Amino acid sequence: MRLKYVENGYEILEACQQIVTIRKASAEEVWSNLPTHQDLHLELGTGMGDFLFGMAEQYPNRFFVGFERDTKVLIRVAKKTEEFECMNYQFVHMDAGNALPHFPDHQIQGIYLNFSDPWPKNSHAKRRLTHHNFLREYQRLLALGGVLEMKTDNLGLFEYSLKQFQREEWILQRVERDLHQTELAEKNVETEYERKFRAKGQPIYFLRACPK
Task: Give the residue numbers marked as catalytic.
Answer: 117
User: Judging by beta carbons within 10 Å of its beta carbon (0-12, 13-18, 19+), is residue 5 exposed, middle or buried?
Assistant: exposed
Residue 117 to residue 157: CA distance in whole angstroms: 9
CA 76 to chain centre: 17
Residue 4 to residue 2: CA distance in whole angstroms: 7
Q: Encode 131-150: b = buried (16+ Cβ within 10 Å), e = exposed.
A: beebbebbbbbbeeebbbbb
Strand partners, 113: 150
Give the residue among 89, 45, 88, 52 at the shortest CA–CA distance from 70.
45
CA 37 to chain centre: 17
Is the distance from CB of 74 to CB of 93 less than 8 angstroms? yes
What distances in angstroms separate CA 79 from CA 23, 40, 45, one per listed residue?
19, 24, 18
Question: Dihedrals φ, ψ of 65, to 5°?
Answer: -120, 125
